Structure 1
């Protein structure tokens, strides 16, 4: 397949403990490639896997998802290995990033899929995620007592040089610069709550967006293979860096699925400040509502 021409360059740079913008050059985009672009803990691995299966035309993958579909602007793995594996794949490929759309070029013929989740669900999931990372620094803000961790998440500012320190500001910037900016001509925006509520519908919508003819049998097979319990049971095929000690428990990467978990974690007294901060970061009420709940 032909190389995808660049329409415009990146407008800014994001880096962090793992995010490494110099690694974008490990992927030379082809027309028809797919970029999954989400904030962390918004269904990234799940979406990548469904897309990879649609591109393969079957619910079985030849290799673990992190090999087929790397986090392309991360410091995970050797750059030359990532570059060689991507170049060796025939046809269309899918890769992922957590950077907002102003942090990478726009390429003609490359589809971008952005998935969002209620920011407080992101917070709840991040707490489990960081606790499961063997190398997480002991003073990580998300490992503090709940009230301190939540205050840090809500009040924290965006630092483009420490973008992996996730806060409400990083989630909302991703949303503004990707879903609301109009920067990407071939963008599908999805919401995690809607995807979990209608898993088959999510597979069909992904298929339409990337131009894959998915018959009912393929959709059903992908839904079975990408059910939460099915992916958790085969965590070694789906989590980043399995079996390397990166995680305390590989299966713990899939801590809990679904939407609305934040209600079990976030104290009601904290909601007023969260809502005020959300109004500062996303002034339009309809846009705020969609980021939290999805819908038209």
Structure 2
């Protein structure tokens, strides 16, 4: 959404966000249709992907923006997101037979979180696992000094949305007239995004409730659920998966910066 606002410089976007920024690896549209949609675009392209940088072509003409979040906040969001996905519709669009009942529905959030922390898997085969998340972010962290790789933290966006938007505009070399900034910043807030959820949530009927897609939008949910001992267990686990400087940035982005 921030990229869309910077490129079009208006909150009145010319099309739903999913059309302006196709989710390239979502597999809910035939590949040729996605490529045709991109080929027809005449504005600066901004493409969404959930694939880590080591799984996509790296082109010096492209800027890669990697958005990170505290892993436990990400996990809580994933739990609720899973319960909001229409599995039957997803199976129909992708052609893949998926479980008819979301795994998250079988456990309380606390039990699911503890299992997510402890789950040991090949990160390349399960990108939504803790090892998968740290594989993705660790690779991006290792590339952070490359001129066309930008790392953005969700908590920084929440705490200083205007400052982060201005930073991105500068790095993307997009000039924004000063009078336009207040409206663009308002349009990127969680509250405005939630109010216009139908235009911002991926389409095709996969999400059961668009408004619920924007559930909370603030950090710290896991701290409200897990005990001190359980949080210590998380820290021990994640320390084995990532370097200290990356973890410092993920857990306390403002302080690490």
Check whether TM > 0.5: yes
Secondary structure of 1:93's counterpart equals coil
- In 2, the alpha carbon distance for the partners of 1:118 and 1:142 equals 23
Q: TM-score normalised to the size of structure 1?
A: 0.76
| Equivalent residue, structure 1, for 2:4 | 52
Maintained 8 Å contact 2:141/2:246:
no
**Is 2:211 the partner of 1:211?**
no
Secondary structure of 1:190's counterpart equals strand
Secondary structure of 2:47's counterpart equals strand
Q: TM-score normalised to the size of structure 2?
A: 0.87
Maintained 8 Å contact 1:65/1:238:
yes
Equivalent runs, 1:127-276 vs 2, <5 Å? 127-135=79-87, 137=99, 138=101, 140-141=103-104, 143-156=106-119, 157-163=121-127, 166-181=128-143, 184-241=146-203, 244-276=204-236
Maintained 8 Å contact 1:191/1:293:
no
Deviates more, 1:108-117 or 1:137-146: 137-146
**Is 2:16 the partner of 1:64?**
yes
Alignment RMSD: 1.9
Describe the shift of the 1:262–1:270 C-alpha distance in structure 2 as closer, same or farther (beyond 3 A).
Answer: same
Secondary structure of 1:107's counterpart equals coil
Maintained 8 Å contact 2:76/2:113:
no
- In 2, the alpha carbon distance for the partners of 1:266 and 1:64 equals 38
Secondary structure of 2:207's counterpart equals coil
Maintained 8 Å contact 1:131/1:143:
no
| Equivalent residue, structure 1, for 2:52 | 100
- In 1, the alpha carbon distance for the partners of 2:32 and 2:189 equals 33
- In 2, the alpha carbon distance for the partners of 1:220 and 1:158 equals 44
Maintained 8 Å contact 2:22/2:48:
yes
Describe the shift of the 1:151–1:175 C-alpha distance in structure 2 as closer, same or farther (beyond 3 A).
Answer: same
Unaligned runs of 5+ in 2: 88-97
| Equivalent residue, structure 2, for 1:44 | none
Number of residue pairs matched by the alignment:
243
- In 1, the alpha carbon distance for the partners of 2:64 and 2:144 equals 12
Maintained 8 Å contact 2:82/2:102:
no
Bigger share in strand? 1
Maintained 8 Å contact 2:123/2:131:
no
Unaligned runs of 5+ in 1: 1-48
| Equivalent residue, structure 2, for 1:293 | 252
Q: How big is each residue's C-alpha offset from its partner over 1:166-189, in whole Å with a ceiling of 9 and x where there is no partner?
A: 121111111111122459541111
Maintained 8 Å contact 1:203/1:219:
no
- In 2, the alpha carbon distance for the partners of 1:171 and 1:162 equals 9
